[in-house]
Structure formats: C-alpha cells, structure tokens
Structure 1
Amino acid sequence: MNVADISIIGQDRKGIVASITNYIFNNKCNVEEVNQNVMNNIFYMSVKISFKPEKFDKIKFKKGLENISRKVGVKSRIFFDGQKRKKNMAILVTKEEHILTELLKENKKGRLKVNIPIIIGTSNTLENTCKKFKIKFITIKDKTQSLRENKILKILEEYEIDFIVLARYMKILSPKFVWNYPNRIINIHPSLLPSFPGAMAYMQAFEKGVRISGATAHFVTVDLDQGPIIAQESFKINSNKSIEQVKNSGRECEKKALMKAVTLFVNNKLECRWGKVITKTRKT
C-alpha cells in the first residue's frame, strides 16, 4: 500500500468532514490517521490515506479532491511521498548563513538528493549566497504576518513544494501556515529540546551552567518549539568555555542534526504517531 497526506483548511462550516471522507472512501482509499481542529472559525484537517497503487490514478484523485474542496469552501493539498521523483524543498531564511550554506553545499555534492527551486528571505542579506549556487531567491519584507505568509504560500504552491526547511528563520509561523504543511516543515533549534525553547537558547544554557547542550531538528507545530523531534546532536560545555565558543560548537551540531533530519525525510523514513517521530527501517 502507498500513502499520501491530505491537508484541508478553510472557513468552518457543516459538511466538510463528511464530504472529504466520503470522497476518500468512494475512491477505495483507507484512512490511516486523521486530525482536525477549529481556531478563530478556521477549520483544519489532516488525513493520512493509504491506497493500492495499481488501481489508483493520482492525477484524477487530486482533481476530484480539489473539486469537492471547492464545493465546501476549503483549500486542499495532497502530498504523494511514494513518488520516485526528487522532492521539492523550499528554504526560509533570515540573516544567519551557516545552515543555508551547509544545505546548499550538501545538496550540490549529491548527499541530500532534493530539488531546491526557491529560497525565501525576510531581507536580501543571503541573496548572494543563493546566487553562488544558482538558486532563485525571493525577498518578502511585509511586516504584517498574514500578508507575508499569504505571499509565501502562493510561492510554495507555484513551485510545487513538498516540504520546507527553516534555516534559522526568525519568524513565528501562524497556525494557518503550519496547517497547510502538516509534518512537512522542519526547523532547527539551538538547544536540546524540550530544554530552552524560544529565543537565545545558547545564552539560556550558558547562564544555567548546563554541562551538555546541542541542537534539535523537529517538525513545526502550532506550539512554538514543541513539535515532534526528528534528530538531536550534542556537545559538552566545560566551565572555561565562553558564550561564543558555546555558539560555535552549537552551530556544528545544528548542521549535523538538520542534515540528518532532511535526509531521513527525503528518503521517506519518518512517520509521526501521536506526536512522536518514528524512524522507519525498511524502504517505502
């Protein structure tokens, strides 16, 4: 059986769940997992389905899903992870360069095995870095979150993005944005979560005098820095280390943890169950 992820989002109204699930069942698919929520009158649902590939027309199913969604006033997205083509990865950045450079170098060497059609920044600080790797860079400077995120979502759809990496992207994403890409946004946080969430994590660790710190790659959820953990890397801190030395050690861990997480995702090795990441051992 192959699997696919469906996300549904729009104004809350009666009949959405029934219409979507009936369409899924009528097309001989199984529902493996479903989550739904309503916030500020916005309805969200994510559905993992399974199907027999030899009897399933992906294009026809996607078009039919779009038609049903349109009738009930919602937006639908479907992601087929079993496809043999390379996944399209978008990168969101602010000003820090080390994670972005590592991603681009590793992909150029053929180690990540992804397409990176677009990089989106809040300023043009990292545009020259992207030019060196011949990747399109778009700057979105809107300070209003809704305007900024609507523009980003439109770009992601235009480039048929499968998943997103936040390469030290220093903006908090709204629930609406996250719900469009459930378990498809990977963030790197500079601490061993769940310890020291939020801003200035290295400074928090340094001031508390911890002996071990590190970095965590995790899926983004609506709760800040509390998404399912994918990978972690750690380093020791002795009493002689300065805060800059701590940060330098942490940046190396950030790179390692994120590369591991992206590689696992690209190779369809990750599965979320009840808020926890399961690493699959067999090929899918």
Structure 2
Amino acid sequence: MTRKLTELTVVGDDKTGLIARVTSLLFDHGINIEDLDQAVRKGIFRMTMHVDAAEMTTTKDDLREKLHALGDELGVDVKVRFPADRETKQIAVLATKESHCVEALLQAWASGDLGADISVIIANHAALKPLADYYDIPFYDIGDEKGTPDEDAILSLLNDYDADLIVLARYIRILSPNVVFRYEGRIINVHPSLLPSFPGAAAYRQAIEEGVRVAGVTAHYVTTDLDQGPIITQRAFSVPDDAEVEDLQRKGQPLEADALLEAVQLHLNDDVTVHWGRTNLRDGAEGYQLGLPEAADAANPDRPIDGLANILADD
C-alpha cells in the first residue's frame, strides 16, 4: 500500500540551527517526521524529510506559507510536496547504450504496473532514441562525441521535468557530487555485482578473474561514494567453470532489469526507508523479492548449527 507521506526538501547555505527551526515548526503543527536525511558539502546544506501530515493542525496553504517564510528568513529554498500535489510521480531515466533496463521500465510504465510516469530519458549517446521514440518519451542526448555528458544540461532537464526519482538504467558514467548531492535519496542505480564486491567498472570481468562461483546484481541508492550507497535489492546466479564475460552478461542482464524495477517500485510505494546507510522495509510492505527467491532460499540446508556441545554438556 502506498503511504501518503509529504516530502520536504531544504537546500541552501549551511547555518546553525537549520534543522531545529524546520523540525520545530513541524512539531508545533502536529506533523510527525517519518525519516530525515541531511548532509553538508562545501558549505551547502541539503535535507530531505518524509513526514506524516494526515493529522496536522493547520491547512496545506498555511503550512506552505510558513515554511516558505522560514526559508526566506534562513536564506534556503524549501519545497513541500503533499501527496495530492503529485498523484503520479515523475521519473527521469538516465542511460547510455544498453537497452535492457530501459526496456523493462518502459514496459512496466506502458502496462500501468510502474505506478509513475517516465517523463524523460536522458542519455550520453543517441543509441536509445529509437526506443524512446517508440514509446513517445522525450529523449535528450547530452553527450559529446566521446560520450562525456554535460551535467549542467542534466541538472537543467531534471529541473524542467520536475523529476521525483532519477533511475540510472545502466548509465555508464559516474555522476558528479554536484548532481548526486542535490538528489541524494532519489537516485537509484543498478550495478552488475553483488555489492559491496566488485564496485566500479568491469564487474563481470572481475567476478571471472576472482573465480567466484556465485555472481549477481545490485540495485542501490546512489551516494557520492561510488557504488557504496544503501542496497535495496539483489539477485544472484551461478558462474559456470568456462564462463566468459558475455556469458555473465546474458545471465545478468535480465536480473539487472528485474532488480532495478523492484527497487524503483519499493521507492515509489514508500515501502523502503534508509537508516544509518541501511535500507529497511516499512511495516506492512509485502510481495517483494529483495534477494533470493523463496524456493532457492528453502533449498539451503538448515542443520547443523551451533549448540550441540551445550546440549551434550547439559546431559
């Protein structure tokens, strides 16, 4: 069930007491804070809050006015999004050349299963434009002849399309802290390894070189630390003795799409929260396959476990 939480974002110059002033205003109006994420980078403060305003003791317009007035006083930008303000959230997809994750997202959107609109595809190559055109989605190639992206163009497009969520659908570039910091907690990436193993480029090749027997994929929130953001979903598969990189790609790509799509749906449904760098399911969240499928998990042995020596000693 989608939770009707209100989102607040605060961005601006760092000042002492910012958090206290905002949270005190919310408390005074009967608003409960569900989760809060804040950080400071190079003197710029960012805070994202999800709050339960269902029983607040004021009106939406009055709360907006007071928060905007507080923002003006403190010299920060405050945005408030009540659930009714955006019945359908807007997703911006970032991609490069690989189509499988983009295709999975577009199919889920076209079938009505995504629960959000894909408003734009932003890529650093033109390869996926035919796919975007087929689904009638605006497409922007912001890469130069080497595929180097124009991040000012990315930020401008994200603002123009008012993106609620940014999905990196095999976007083979590292987003700079300038982008990540502004949208942290609202960027989901899929990586072709069981993180924290094999971060960075060429993860499938690393898996083969290290001789792993089980490889996999991970969908995670993006932070300014490369491939170290909170893990949302993972999928695993066996690595044959004679596997080549292409073999792992064939096994992994459908799982990349599956893990990414589930992570997106978890986020859109407000069924996942992050605390101290770890994701947790909210109470009542059901029907997700965060890791191994139940059948695979059930096939694992459940004995022996520690404790037999203690039992014998008691006898």
Please name the residue that 2:194 is paired with: 192
Please show how residues 205-244 of structure 1 align to structure 2 within 5 Å. 205-244=207-246
Deviation of 1:245 after TM superposition, in Å, equals 0.6
* Aligned mates of 1:2, 1:106 — CA distance in 2: 22
Secondary structure of 1:46's counterpart equals strand
Deviation of 1:208 after TM superposition, in Å, equals 0.6
Please name the residue that 1:251 is paired with: 253
Deviation of 1:232 after TM superposition, in Å, equals 0.6
* Aligned mates of 2:55, 2:121 — CA distance in 1: 33
Please name the residue that 2:120 is paired with: 118
Please name the residue that 1:68 is paired with: 70
Q: Computing the radius of gyration over CA atoms, which structure comes out larger, 1 or 2?
A: 2
Amino acid in structure 1 at the alignment position of 2:23: T
- Contact residue 142 and residue 150 of structure 2 kept, 8 A: yes
Does the C-alpha gap of structure 1 residues 58 and 139 become closer, same or farther in structure 2, counting only changes over 3 Å? farther
Please show how residues 1-284 of structure 1 align to structure 2 within 5 Å. 3-14=5-16, 16-53=18-55, 55=57, 57-80=59-82, 85-141=87-143, 148-282=150-284
* Aligned mates of 2:142, 2:12 — CA distance in 1: 24
Secondary structure of 2:67's counterpart equals helix
- Contact residue 7 and residue 180 of structure 1 kept, 8 A: no
Amino acid in structure 2 at the alignment position of 1:29: I
Does the C-alpha gap of structure 1 residues 233 and 130 become closer, same or farther in structure 2, counting only changes over 3 Å? same
Count of residues paired in the alignment: 281
Gaps of 5+ in 2: 287-315
TM-superposition CA deviations, 1:83-128 (whole Å, max 9, x none): 7822211111122211111211222122212211111112322112
TM-superposition CA deviations, 1:231-276 (whole Å, max 9, x none): 1111100112222111111111101111211222222211222221
Secondary structure of 1:25's counterpart equals helix
Secondary structure of 1:75's counterpart equals strand
Does the C-alpha gap of structure 1 residues 183 and 141 become closer, same or farther in structure 2, counting only changes over 3 Å? same
Secondary structure of 1:245's counterpart equals helix
Gaps of 5+ in 1: none
The worse-fitting range, judged by mean Cα deviation, of 69-78 and 189-198 is: 69-78
Deviation of 1:73 after TM superposition, in Å, equals 2.5
Deviation of 1:222 after TM superposition, in Å, equals 1.8
Amino acid in structure 1 at the alignment position of 2:93: I
* Aligned mates of 2:49, 2:202 — CA distance in 1: 35
Amino acid in structure 2 at the alignment position of 1:90: A
Moved over 4 A (4+): 53-56, 79-84
TM-superposition CA deviations, 1:21-40 (whole Å, max 9, x none): 34333433233444433222
Does the C-alpha gap of structure 1 residues 142 and 6 become closer, same or farther in structure 2, counting only changes over 3 Å? farther
Deviation of 1:281 after TM superposition, in Å, equals 4.7
Secondary structure of 1:44's counterpart equals strand
Identity among equivalent positions (%) equals 37
Deviation of 1:56 after TM superposition, in Å, equals 5.2
Q: Report the TM-score when normalising by structure 1.
A: 0.87
- Contact residue 120 and residue 161 of structure 2 kept, 8 A: yes
Deviation of 1:212 after TM superposition, in Å, equals 0.5
- Contact residue 93 and residue 168 of structure 2 kept, 8 A: yes
Q: Report the TM-score when normalising by structure 2.
A: 0.79
* Aligned mates of 1:274, 1:82 — CA distance in 2: 30
* Aligned mates of 2:165, 2:239 — CA distance in 1: 34
Deviation of 1:190 after TM superposition, in Å, equals 0.5
- Contact residue 220 and residue 232 of structure 2 kept, 8 A: yes
